[in-house]
Amino acid sequence: MAEGSSSRVLRTNSSTRPANPVPSPFSRRSQPPDSVSTNFHGVAQMLKFIALALTALVSFSPSWVTAQAQPKVKEKVVVGLAHEPPYTNFQAGGTLSGAAPDLLFRIMKDFGVKELDPKVLEFGAMIPSLQAGRVDVISTGLYINPMRCKAVLFSEPDLCTAEGFIVPKGNPKALNSFSDVAANDNIRYGVCGGCSAEKRATELGVPRSRITIAPDHQSGIKMLLDGRIDVYAAPDLALRSAAEAMGVTDRFEVRPVAGEPAKCSGIAFRNDQRELRDLVDRKLEALKQSGEYDKIVSKYGFDPKLARMAKRADLCGGAN
């Protein structure tokens, strides 16, 4: 990111001398020998030099500490995201809300950021856009996993939820897990391109020939409405939000995917942004400790306890 921070430096005037020097402890009645007087004068001069040196060091230190503690960022940060309520909700008029951008802005404003500039992307395009510098960070519910950890730096988990299926009411084809989808050759499976549920399905045996890619969750649910697929997979909170917005909750239901652990996302950074990532980690942890984190994410339906229990190193399969 471009530079945009400044620090205040305290300066010391080394020519300043005390107006009223401290009188000598030796009175006229009892003058010490010349050698003692000379030694005392030398010690006094040395003490004065040390005091001035310490004063100059103290004056210099705040500038150095501030420079290390505050990352250099732009006042307007370009954020890669998907339209995926309740993670992120970007309306055509320019309104941006959701747990991910709210949390990101709360952290970044302490670094001098005044505005988030959203750039809506498909999940498969997010990491390439970050690496190419077209966006400054990604904050949208991008799950942390070992493959992604090789490409980018993640913050500690910011939001956690469960993987979900949206199916017709009553789940007539008994689709409760990825294995259920893989076992039935007639099941047509929908998922957003680049989403973790795409990779997970193929790992568990769902062939590519039965997978249909959707650009976003609303498009995926529309495919379900049109009978083009039998099930669509995405984070359960995102599916519920999309189904409610589309007014289809009377016809479809969202179910957690059996056998799948909670999935956690993080704020993603380029590999040359490690200092910024580490500082964001500290701010995020402070918000979790203070309870402010709970207020930000719980209003969007997220369970704050899940992100506290999850660790980036476990999700990455090692250091990141």
Phi then psi for residue 52, to 5 deg, are: -65, -40
pLDDT tens string 281-291: 999 999 999 99
Report the 10 Å Cβ neighbour count for 314: 12
Q: Look at the alpha carbons of 179, 230, 167, 138 in this order and tell me if their dihedral is positive or negative.
A: positive
**Rounded distance between C-alpha atoms, residue 56 and residue 50, angstroms:** 10
Predicted pLDDT at 63:
29
Q: Which of 85, 191, 200 is nearest to 146 (CA)?
A: 200
Poorest-pLDDT segment among 3-17, 124-138, 147-161, 177-191: 3-17
**Is the pLDDT score of 39 beyond 90?**
no
Q: If you ran DSSP here, which 8-state letter would residue 84 be given?
A: B
> What number is the average pLDDT over the span 33-59?
46
Predicted pLDDT at 42:
53
**Rounded distance between C-alpha atoms, residue 127 and residue 119, angstroms:** 13
**Is the pLDDT score of 126 beyond 60?**
yes
pLDDT tens string 146-166: 999 999 999 999 999 999 999
3-state secondary structure of 76: strand
The answer to whether 141 and 100 have CB atoms below 8 angstroms apart is yes
Q: If you ran DSSP here, which 8-state letter would residue 96 be given?
A: E
Q: Chain-wide mean pLDDT for the chain?
A: 83
The answer to whether 302 and 99 have CB atoms below 8 angstroms apart is yes
**Is the pLDDT score of 221 beyond 60?**
yes
Percent pLDDT > 90 in the chain is: 72
> What number is the average pLDDT over the span 65-70?
44
Q: Say what the pTM is.
A: 0.70
* Degrees to nearest 5, angle at CA 249 with 248 and 255: 120
Predicted pLDDT at 280:
97
pLDDT tens string 94-125: 889 999 999 999 999 999 999 999 999 999 99
> pLDDT confidence of 70, banded at 50, 70, 90?
low
**Rounded distance between C-alpha atoms, residue 84 and residue 162, angstroms:** 15
Cis peptide before 86 (omega within 30 of 0): yes
> What number is the average pLDDT over the span 258-281?
96
